[in-house]
Structure 1
Amino acid sequence: MNLESRVNLEVDLKKLADNFHEIRRRVSPCRLMAVLKANAYGLGVQPVAEVVKQAGAAAFGVAEINEAVELVPLGLPVQILGNLLPDEIAPAVEYGVICPLNDLEMAKKISAEAVRQGKTATGAVTVDSGMGRLGMPAAEAAEQILAMRGLPNLKLDGIYSHFSSAFMRYDDYSLGQLASFKTLLAELKGAGLEFPNVHMAASDALNNFPDSTRPPFTLARCGINMYGYYDNEVHQSMRLAPVVELKTRLAAVRMLAAGSCIGYGRMHRLQKDTRVGTIAAGYADGLPLALSNRGYVLVNGVLCPVLGRISMDYTTISLENAPEAQPGDEVVCIGGQDGRFVSLEDWAQLKGTHVYDLLCSFGTRVRRRYVNRPVAG
């Protein structure tokens, strides 16, 4: 039985495609990799991947082997951005995934596995230019990288690094990372080693450090910007549209007397007789607890404040501004209604976080609904 979901996350695929085209224009002549890790930031990887492939994605970027294998049938190069665990090397080679080469030892293991399988593995060299997470420190990397080119059954397809603080515009540390990586690339070129795919920029750097999308760089990565969002501090250099709306419905409408307490911990006490509504969504669906007594939703085109603490499955709101509201009416938690809006950025400000956190937090019972699918061609 396929019943209607109480909570729906609407993903506008035309806005997604338009955003991707805009970002491609921004980084041209660099090609653009779509980063689809964590189920495309929680939005559903297959529909998102199909749309960005149609919109001109050059490759897909993911975090781990299961994500990679799922995307291989779509026919674009799939790169794991991170590292491989020992038992992931064999399937990565088998499925033709672009393997991260974090050091010479890992390159040797991938080479040996490729020889065992009778295949040529494809690798991308991971350089730590200052993130401090994975890869070879840029100042010490050249010797190991040059040794990789002699390994059997291993094709060096690319080289990449990652900014730590590209959300900070004019950041000297980020400029130092960029300079360090370029110095390494020049050293390798001088030794006769160049790569077809060279990338460092992700969404924040696309806006704040455009030099990271110019030669010697040939590829750029894009994640959060595809969905129409930016890090809180980033200079917003492109016209992008948020692609998601979170909607539920009113489960109940009641008149409660002055002095009534609302929710766990009695966080709210009504000062007067109040018409209240209970909406069919809570923190299990992605509503942050930080919205308790502070957030708003839209009902009948007007903002209605959250009363008390958000529960796992339900949230209580005041309906003083929406006196005609009835059970079953649409409630917009994120998105627009009759010219008014509640944004994911509003939530982020209340929670003291960024939109990445919130976009990835919508619960498993929230149905992803895909609207405005672009027409092929």
Structure 2
Amino acid sequence: MSLSDPTLTAIPVDAGQGGLPATRAVVDLAAVARNLGRLRARLAPTTRVVGVVKAGGYGHGLVAVARRLEAAGVDGLGVAVVEEAAALRGAGVTTPILVLSPGYEAAAAVVVELALEVVVSDLAELAPLEAAARRAGRPVGIHLKVDTGMGRLGLDAPHLETALARLHHAPYLRLAGVMSHLACADEEGAFTGEQIDAFATLRPRLAAAGFGAIPLHLANTAGVVHFPAAHFDMVRPGLGLYGYGAVDLEPVLTLETRVVRVRHLAAGATVGYGRTFRCGRPTRMGVVRIGYGDGLPRALSNRGCLLVAGRRCPIIGRVNMDLTCIDLTDAPAAAVGSVAVVIGRQGGERITADEVAAQTGTIAYEVLCSIGPRVARVYGGGE
């Protein structure tokens, strides 16, 4: 088990807690590999998988997750920005890396030097890439993004031939893929079907332009799980690798902290900023060392729960930046030093990122990505 990931900020280890930080995210890297396997089982044997590790591996740790996926045989890794890719190359990751978001033009020389591939959603992005590749004497791989309904980025479909004609006369630009992005594969089947159909029409157009062997990729996790027709030649799962998006996937991360104080409050006493909670009974209150500065949503104030001593213990009062109060009255075994689980299992109880998201009006992606850098990541199950 390791506490190190060079992309995360180290924090002091608390004395008296067995050498482990009071607040930590325990990441099961073996579960990442198993989730990759379960997603692959849904695909044709020839379909490639680009594992998306952007945003610090969805809060789990960029380098640690990428290394485990590489060891498990993933075909490629997806990041948002060149800086993430550079961190992976600096950590010795050699798997192909695809930079998914725009804004890399100023770093075109780095893209070429690190042998990255990039998504091109506007033809203006080609010139700096081409110039950097020509100076280096080797081509750069690009993936043309075509908008099929997301409405955010991408070439309008009628302009595909213009882009392909441009590439025919650009020996330092290598077309490595053509892609699009599903807008609502986890919410709406009809529109997703329209996107799949629109994307499928690109293949004969590519062939007619002399690019018939170029791989197509469209599916995210929801596309992999719910829409086999969206698999095409390659898929880009993100959330599924971390255990969300299908019932057979394993949540990878446990977020936990410890009880640092226990107090006894009289009925009628109030708790915290704004005095938003009033004790309706004599209350055994615990203070845990986690707050919104660590990624515990403030929207859980007076509504969420943590697991302590195998019991669901309600959050009382407002979630603070560094500390949160919980009701331990119905958890008599809880004491100073007890583990309090924010996301994960304890005894027969379980809290998932999906549950936290539902309570706070957001999505599991945001819950996981919001876990802050001062929360130590503790890794197990690596190779």
TM over 0.5: yes
Q: Any conservation in 2 of the 1:84–1:99 contact (CA below 8 Å)? A: no
| Deviation for aligned residue 1:169 | 4.1
Query: Following the alignment from structure 1 to structure 2, what is the Cα–Cα distance between the partners of residues 41 and 307?
Result: 28
Residue 221 (str. 1) matches residue 236 (str. 2) = yes
Aligned to 1:157, the other structure's residue is in SS state strand
User: When the two structures are superposed, what TM-score results if normalisation uses the length of structure 1?
Assistant: 0.92
- Which of 289, 296, 317 matches 2:298? 289
Other-structure match for 1:346: 355
Query: Following the alignment from structure 1 to structure 2, what is the Cα–Cα distance between the partners of residues 179 and 121?
Result: 29
Deviation string 1:143-194 (CA, Å, 9 cap, x unpaired) is 22232122132211111111111112422x2222222222122112122212
Residues paired across the two proteins, number: 364
Query: Following the alignment from structure 2 to structure 1, what is the Cα–Cα distance between the partners of residues 321 and 302?
Result: 15
Query: Following the alignment from structure 2 to structure 1, what is the Cα–Cα distance between the partners of residues 373 and 114?
Result: 28
Query: Following the alignment from structure 1 to structure 2, what is the Cα–Cα distance between the partners of residues 101 and 247?
Result: 40
Other-structure match for 2:88: 71
Other-structure match for 2:72: 55
CA 1:105–1:332: 2 relative to 1, 3 Å: closer
CA 1:186–1:180: 2 relative to 1, 3 Å: same
Give the AA of the match of 2:326. Answer: I
Aligned to 1:284, the other structure's residue is in SS state coil
Query: Following the alignment from structure 2 to structure 1, what is the Cα–Cα distance between the partners of residues 156 and 267?
Result: 64
Other-structure match for 2:253: 244
Give the AA of the match of 1:205. Answer: G
- Which of 301, 304, 309 matches 2:310? 301
Other-structure match for 1:233: none
Give the AA of the match of 1:248. Answer: T
Give the AA of the match of 1:7. Answer: T
**Structure 1 unaligned regions, length at least 5:** 231-235
Other-structure match for 1:193: 211
Higher deviation after alignment, 191-200 or 201-210: 191-200
- Which of 163, 167, 170 matches 2:186? 167
CA 1:119–1:176: 2 relative to 1, 3 Å: same
Other-structure match for 1:203: 221
Runs (4+) of structure 1 moved beyond 3 Å?
1-4
Q: Any conservation in 2 of the 1:255–1:275 contact (CA below 8 Å)? A: yes
* Cα RMSD, aligned residues only: 1.6
Query: Following the alignment from structure 2 to structure 1, what is the Cα–Cα distance between the partners of residues 56 and 305?
Result: 28
Other-structure match for 1:333: 342
Residue 8 (str. 1) matches residue 24 (str. 2) = yes
| Deviation for aligned residue 1:106 | 2.3
CA 1:319–1:118: 2 relative to 1, 3 Å: same
Aligned to 1:26, the other structure's residue is in SS state coil
Residue 359 (str. 1) matches residue 359 (str. 2) = no
Aligned to 1:290, the other structure's residue is in SS state helix
CA 1:291–1:185: 2 relative to 1, 3 Å: same
CA 1:202–1:242: 2 relative to 1, 3 Å: same
Q: Any conservation in 1 of the 2:276–2:318 contact (CA below 8 Å)? A: yes
| Deviation for aligned residue 1:342 | 1.6
Q: Any conservation in 2 of the 1:158–1:195 contact (CA below 8 Å)? A: no
Deviation string 1:261-283 (CA, Å, 9 cap, x unpaired) is 10111110112221111111111
Residue 40 (str. 1) matches residue 40 (str. 2) = no
Other-structure match for 1:317: 326
Other-structure match for 2:117: 98
Higher deviation after alignment, 345-354 or 108-117: 108-117
Q: Any conservation in 2 of the 1:107–1:148 contact (CA below 8 Å)? A: no
| Deviation for aligned residue 1:122 | 1.5
Other-structure match for 1:268: 277
Query: Following the alignment from structure 2 to structure 1, what is the Cα–Cα distance between the partners of residues 198 and 260?
Result: 57
| Deviation for aligned residue 1:335 | 1.0
Query: Following the alignment from structure 2 to structure 1, what is the Cα–Cα distance between the partners of residues 321 and 336?
Result: 19
